[in-house]
Amino acid sequence: MKKDFCDFKKFIKEKEVAVVGIGVSNIPLINFLLELGALVTAFDKKTEEELGETAEDFKRKNVKLSLGENYLKNLTGFDVIFKTPSMRIDSEALVRAKEEGAYITSEMEEFVRYCPAKVYGVTGSDGKTTTTSIIYNLLKEQGYTTWVGGNIGKPLFSNIEEIKPDHKVVLELSSFQLMTMDTAPEVAVVTNLSPNHLDMHKDMQEYIDAKKNIFINQSEEGILILNRENNITYSFAGEAKGKVRFFSSKRILHDGAYYIDEKLYVFGTEICSKEDMIIKGIHNVENYLSAFLAVYKDVEISTMIKVIKSFKGVPHRNELVRELRGVKYYNDSIGSSPTRTLATISVFDKPVILIAGGYDKNIPFEPLAEEGIDKIKALILLGATRGKIKEVFEKVMKEEKINIPVYIAESLEEAVIKAKDIGKQGDYVVLSPACASFDMFPNFEVRGNRFAEIVNSLK
């Protein structure tokens, strides 16, 4: 049962509220809390100089600021604290605040709790952005007023009073957003699970438990959609309170969605052929199957067919940037895990020149090397993980008696130039880092845009 947002408005008025993190999602949140009559203090590691006009604007609005290296030392005496998703609930500052009696929450938690519309939540290690985008396009094409948020789109809590009960909302949810979630979307999709974000989570089990929060608090009317071919997601079925639906790319499931003989089926009904898909790869077949299950009662089959024939994919997801002298350059900057990169390079009809490496999330690279080595013509490594990836590939090459050239680059520009130098007509050059971007770029979008700029500047 959704809560009435009027209750939140009464609760938050004149409360001392801390917002930790002055980033993309929290700036609209701060302004919204001010409109609701909260007394807001904003916290951020950046200095006032680094925040620039944002800091000046908040000061004009009487927002107190706690900034700089020791910004959390003043996180005391608050009624409510909105934490940034990456801030662990067991951090010293939040433990102290909770002992003082503060209510600790996040923008996403409050949105799911009070959103009056049906919410479709998507999580997983790989494929969640594409699946979220497909669900959004299906609902929008069917004629619903549809909102998209979470890790993609825009922060939605500040728009909650514009969202009506007959609208639809699609959210991409990360493990960080889910870690403290105690409410659940009506429809929950878990695309797959493999080791990821182990730089932030204590261990793999904590990561799995965080993902479970997308469905643990569903009611009996809730729907949980799981990947039958992933052992971890398959194991979730026994903990679900609502209906469970499986999708599979390997077996027939008459009470779910499946792929056989190059065709996609839902509940035994053929939807389309794999050839109808603009975005290629068996991982995208799975993304479509899960999306079709999510919207099955809300979207007509004719709409599904229309979307599958028109959806061109997500920016930075194996996106063709340019063809130069017979060499095609692809931007898969969103590929920030080894399994995601493996799925990407598997769709090509010949081994690729792979540019990889970046911020270390403490994820093992063995799956990429062991299963992907025959899909790679040459490997160009950069970033903080370049040495670790090189070591893993050299070990596998020695064991398998396979040899592929491995190059080290000091920058993305150097990596692209090396790819141009070694590329021959008919080759594919793919940026799919298997790592996050934070060692060199603020996010994967900036990394992908920079890759495209460099490629487009090649003579």
Which helix (H) or strand (E) segment is 112 a member of?
helix 107-114
Beta bridge partners of 224: 188, 244
pLDDT tens-digit series, residues 76-110: 999 999 998 878 888 899 999 999 999 999 999 99
Q: Which two tokens stand for residue 390?
A: 């090189």
Residue 196: its pLDDT value, please? 66
CA dihedral 120, 294, 240, 199 (to 10 degrees): -60
> What pLDDT was estimated at residue 43?
96
Please write down the HEC assignment for all residues of 122-175: EECCCCHHHHHHHHHHHHHHHCCCEEEEECCCCCCHHHHHHCCCCCEEEEECCH
Report pLDDT for 198: 62
pLDDT value for 406: 97
Q: Do domains 109-308 and 319-457 have the same CATH topology?
A: no
The CATH number of the domain covering residues in 109-308:
3.40.1190.10
pLDDT category at 305 given cuts 50, 70, 90 is very high
- pLDDT reading at 1 higher than 70: no
pLDDT in tens, 349-372: 899 999 999 999 888 999 999 999
Q: What is the mean pLDDT of the chain?
A: 94
pLDDT of residue 392: 97
Instruction: Tell me which CATH code domain 319-457 carries.
Output: 3.90.190.20
Amino acid at 136: Y
High-pLDDT (> 70) share of the chain, %? 99
Q: How far apart are CA 265 and CA 252, in angstroms?
A: 9
Answer yes or no: are the C-beta atoms of 423 and 368 closer than 8 Å.
no
Could you give phi then psi for residue 194, rounded to 5 degrees? -150, 165
Q: State the DSSP H helix or E strand holding residue 321, giving kind and residue range, or none if neither.
A: strand 319-324
Banded pLDDT at 199 (limits 50, 70, 90):
low
Name every residue whose Cβ is closer than 8 Å to that of residue 142 and which is 6 or more positions away in sequence.
Answer: 295, 298, 299, 300, 303
Q: Give the contacts of 69 (CB within 8 A, at least 6 positions apart).
A: 45
Classify residue 221 by its DSSP letter: T
Q: Which two tokens stand for residue 97?
A: 């605040």
All structural domains of the chain with their residue ranges: 13-105, 109-308, 319-457
Q: Which amino acid is at 273?
A: S
What average pLDDT does this structure show over 149-168?
92
Q: What is the DSSP string of 58-80?
A: HHHTT-EEEESTTGGGG--S-SE
CATH no. of 13-105 = 3.40.50.720
The amino acid occupying position 339 is T
Q: What does the pLDDT read at residue 202? A: 75
Residue 407 pLDDT exceeds 80: yes
* Residue 166 predicted with pLDDT over 70: yes
Tell me which of 163 and 280 has the higher pLDDT: 163
Instruction: Provide mean pLDDT across the span 168-196.
Output: 92
Give the model confidence (pLDDT) of 39-85 as tens digits. 999 999 999 999 999 999 999 999 999 999 999 999 999 999 999 88
Amino acid at 230: N
> Residues 334, 444: contact at Cβ < 8 Å?
yes
Q: What is the pTM of this model?
A: 0.83
Give Cα 77 distance to the centre of its chain. 34
pLDDT at 183: 94
* Closest alpha carbon to 318 in 343, 287, 351: 343
pLDDT of residue 280: 82
Q: Read off the pLDDT of each residue in 1-21 and give the average, rounded to a whole number.
A: 93
pLDDT at 37 over 90: yes
